[in-house]
Homo-oligomer: A and B are copies of this chain.
């Protein structure tokens, strides 16, 4: 039976109920967004008693479909003020699904300021005092959870930033080795967890019934089609780009395209790019040896393995994972060309429990405001450490890039709906700008990854500097992505399924095999569109209408080197997204 477990933090009660009929067959982002839209008043304070957090594994999560181990977390975002779905790949997702929980809902607000651990098993759960974890970093918190509840127990922990209700705080899940390092990072949901006084969630999956596909055979044949496609596509195969160099394979590619945001979005080219590239990362992992690993994975069942473990000079583990987005945000965006400094910042972000993208965009704005010099990695590290202290400066920076810009009167602030832009310059890659502007999530690349056709010639080929057709391109990709997020699939399966028809069939077959539906290719777009419109409905109620679907003004009048382009897709074109 599909169940929903609810944790009422006001009365400290845990209850289990059957999944309401209307949500049957939904999962991941589809379910989290629908429940948030149904249950959370759009005008509520994100840190008040009426916001909720919904954890929902994808509807394929817990099956053996490849790369289907993602979990969506939804709620009203303290960062954007709109709806938020942020997802992560983690064994937690698979365990929760196999325990029979289609959704976990955290609601209410404690009247005291204590922090709690939610312990869940197949029969329900209980809240235990988290006194010994209070104030601890995410890494140490995760280690203490394993010490206390046993190794291999899947968990969520909240870092010090989330406890302090900072809008940059993400939600940390365990990776297969127990690192608290797989993040539903974006949009500040860690602050919501902090407001609710929940420091950790731990799963005891003893006697988990597992997931029951409607058509085992169809699921299995779909799995195979998808796996074959993944393992034959240049981007995702063993020894392919992602597997060999991690996601950081993109650093050199974007830099060559003039689309790697540099010096707080004032150039699209970074002199030091090669020193922080995926190639440099792989070289360090090999040369230093020891813990250094390329081809690490975030959850069992992943066959791409794009995660990494970055070693110190002596071969001991520094941090996992060092991703393209983090290397860019904490590297190129700050003019820092030293991978060890970047790795230290990633470690700090993970331990604080904050989104590395927002952290880097924030630091870029802070440097623009004169709080540190561009290029000064140690100074950037010190700024991040302010968050531990809870100093006034920490309370500024912890709220993210938009907030930091407001505090210091900075006008070059690369955000949409108050969320920091990821690692693609919209003036140099126009389609991704459409995604940033129109996504219900605020500036987000994964929502509709136009980089595939615009930069990588995957799923067709589009001139990144052209504006024509980019709204439709983004809409199509946003629809498809929302479906993948509902299924619990990793976004990187998009590369093979865009190019290989049988891979796309595999996605549909696995969905139908699991759910007993007869979805066709059209349903992928239809369901994706439905999800986006649920989210849009929430945002409209929250006051985020078309005027929130806008690029920051400076991009309209500042020309970006090397192409010397401005943002020139009109507001009217952006508004046509929802027509």
Across-interface contacts of A543 in B (CB, < 8 A): 543-545, 547-548
Nearest Cβ distance between residue A357 and chain B, in whole angstroms? 20
Does chain B have a CB within 8 A of A77?
Answer: no
**Contact B396–A392 (Cβ < 8 Å):** yes
Interface status of A43 (Cβ within 8 A of chain B): yes
A70 at the interface (CB under 8 A from B): no
Counting CB contacts under 8 A, is A183 at the interface?
Answer: no
- Kindly identify, within residues 545 to 571 of chain A, every residue whose CB is under 8 Å from any CB belonging to chain B: 545, 547-548, 550, 552-554, 557, 571
CA distance A557 to B49 in the complex (A): 10
Interface stretch of the complex, out of A137-145, A213-221, A407-415, A495-503: A407-415
A48/B553 in contact, CB under 8 A: yes
Q: Which of B42, B45, B548, B550 contacts A554 (CB 8 A)?
A: B45
Asked if residues B409 and A191 are in contact (CB atoms below 8 Å), the reply is: yes
With A409-B191, A543-B548, A548-B543 given, is the CB distance from A43 to B395 under 8 Å? no
**Inside 8 A of A43's CB, which chain B residues have their CB?**
547, 550, 553, 571
Query: A359 → chain B, closest Cβ, in Å?
Result: 17
Residues 93-127 of A, flagged 1 when their CB comes within 8 A of B and 0 if not, give 00000000000000000000000000000000000
Give the CA-CA distance A44 to B27 in the complex, in Å.
Answer: 39
- Which residue of chain B has its CB nearest to the CB of A50? B553
CB distance from A571 to the nearest CB of B (A): 8
List, in ascending order, chain B residues with CB within 8 A of A554's CB. 45, 48
Contacts of A48 in B (CB 8 A): 411, 553-554
Across-interface contacts of A545 in B (CB, < 8 A): 543, 545
Kindly state whether residue A403 has any CB partner on chain B within 8 Å.
yes
B411–A395 contact, CB under 8 A?
no
A541 interface residue per 8 A CB criterion: yes
A554 to B47, CA, bound (A): 11
Measured CB to CB, the nearest residue on chain B to A540 is B547
Decide yes or no whether A296 CB sits under 8 A from chain B.
Answer: no
Contact bitstring A370-404, B, C-beta under 8 A = 1, else 0:
00000000000000000000011101100100010
Q: Is the CB of B553 within 8 A of A195?
A: no
In-complex Cβ contact of A407 among B42, B47, B50, B395 (8 A): B395
A17 adjacent to chain B (CB < 8 Å): no
Complex: A547 Cα to B43 Cα, angstroms? 8
Question: Closest chain B residue to A109 by CB distance?
Answer: B411
* Contacting pair A399 B407 (CB below 8 A): yes
By size class, the interface of chain A is 35 or more
Q: Does A167 count as interface, using CB distance less than 8 angstroms?
A: yes
- Which residue of chain B is the closest to A552 with respect to CB atoms? B45
Q: A-side binding surface: helix, strand, loop or mixed?
A: loop
Min C-beta distance of A539 to chain B, whole Å: 10
Q: What's the nearest-Cβ distance from chain B to residue A503, in Å?
A: 41
**A283 close to B (CB within 8 Å):** no
Verify if A164 is at the interface (C-beta below 8 Å from B): yes
| Chain B residues with CB under 8 A of A391 | 392
Is A406 at the interface (CB under 8 A from chain B)? yes
Separation of A386 and B544 alpha carbons in the complex (Å) = 34
With both chains docked as a complex, state the minimum distance between the C-beta of A438 and any C-beta of chain B, in angstroms: 15
Q: How far is the CA of A329 from the CA of B545 in the complex (A)?
A: 34
Set of chain B residues within 8 Å of A392, measured between Cβ atoms: 391-393, 395-396, 407
Contact: B541 with A547, CB < 8 Å?
yes
Residues 20-44 of chain A: 1 if any B CB is under 8 Å from the residue's CB, otherwise 0? 0000000000000000000001111
Q: How far is the CA of A191 from the CA of B409 in the complex (A)?
A: 9
Q: How far is the CA of A571 from the CA of B41 in the complex (A)?
A: 13
Complex: A41 Cα to B45 Cα, angstroms: 29
Q: Is A291 an interface residue (CB 8 A)?
A: no
Q: Tell me the minimal C-beta distance from A405 to chain B in angstroms.
A: 9
- How long is the Cα–Cα vector from A50 to B556 in the complex, in angstroms? 12
Asked if A257 is at the interface (CB within 8 A of a chain B CB), the reply is no
Cβ B547 vs Cβ A542 within 8 A:
yes
Which of A43, A167, A391, A407 has the largest number of chain B CB atoms within 10 A?
A407
In the assembled complex, the Cα of A45 lies from the Cα of B191 at a distance in Å of 27
B47 and A409 form a contact (CB under 8 A): yes
**CB-CB nearest in chain B for A164:** B409
The one of B167, B406, B411, B542 that contacts A399, using a Cβ cutoff of 8 Å: B406
Q: Which of A468-526 contact B (CB under 8 A)?
A: none
For the complex, what is the distance from the CA of A409 to the CA of B113, rounded to whole Å? Answer: 13
Question: Is A165 an interface residue, CB under 8 A from the partner?
Answer: yes
Chain B CB within 10 Å, residue with most, of A48, A391, A406: A406
Chain A interfacial positions (CB closer than 8 Å to B): 41-45, 47-50, 164-167, 191, 194-195, 391-393, 395-396, 399, 403, 406-409, 411, 540-545, 547-548, 550, 552-554, 557, 571
A-B contacts, 20 listed (Cβ < 8 Å): A41-B553, A43-B547, A43-B553, A43-B571, A45-B553, A45-B554, A47-B409, A47-B411, A48-B554, A49-B557, A50-B553, A166-B409, A167-B406, A191-B409, A392-B395, A392-B396, A395-B407, A540-B547, A542-B547, A545-B545
